[in-house]
Each structure stands twice: as C-alpha cells, then as structure tokens.
Amino acid sequence: MKVDCLIVDDKEALSESTCKYFNMFDVKTAWVADTQDFGVRAGERVI
C-alpha cells in the first residue's frame, strides 16, 4: 500500500480524524500508533 502521508501518533482519535479529513481531498493517508508500528509498515512498502 502506498500513501502520500503517514501519520505517526499515539492519539488514535486525532490520527483517525486527520486521516479521514486528508482522504476527503484525495490525499492518501494512513496512520500508525508508534515508531515500532511504522517500522513494520515501512517494511511492507507503505511509504
């Protein structure tokens, strides 16, 4: 999965709402809770 913006933040509600907002404007966005999660996703070529 390739995204335009990856949010790394532990505040789930804020991250989800920010993703939804960006996605409304066709900015493909995903979020992860911490850098450990980011490492896994980076290995899957999210970015």
Domain range holding 32?
Answer: 5-43
- Count of domains observed in the chain: 1
Query: Given this model, what pLDDT does residue 24 score?
Result: 95
Q: What is the structure's pLDDT at 42?
A: 54
Digit-by-digit pLDDT tens for the chain (47 residues) are 678 888 888 888 998 999 999 999 999 988 888 777 666 555 554 44
What pLDDT is recorded for position 3?
Answer: 82
pLDDT at 36: 72
Residue 18: both structure tokens together: 């920010």
Beta-carbon contacts of residue 46 (< 8 Å; ≥ 6 apart): 1, 2, 3, 6, 30
Q: What is the pLDDT of residue 10?
A: 84
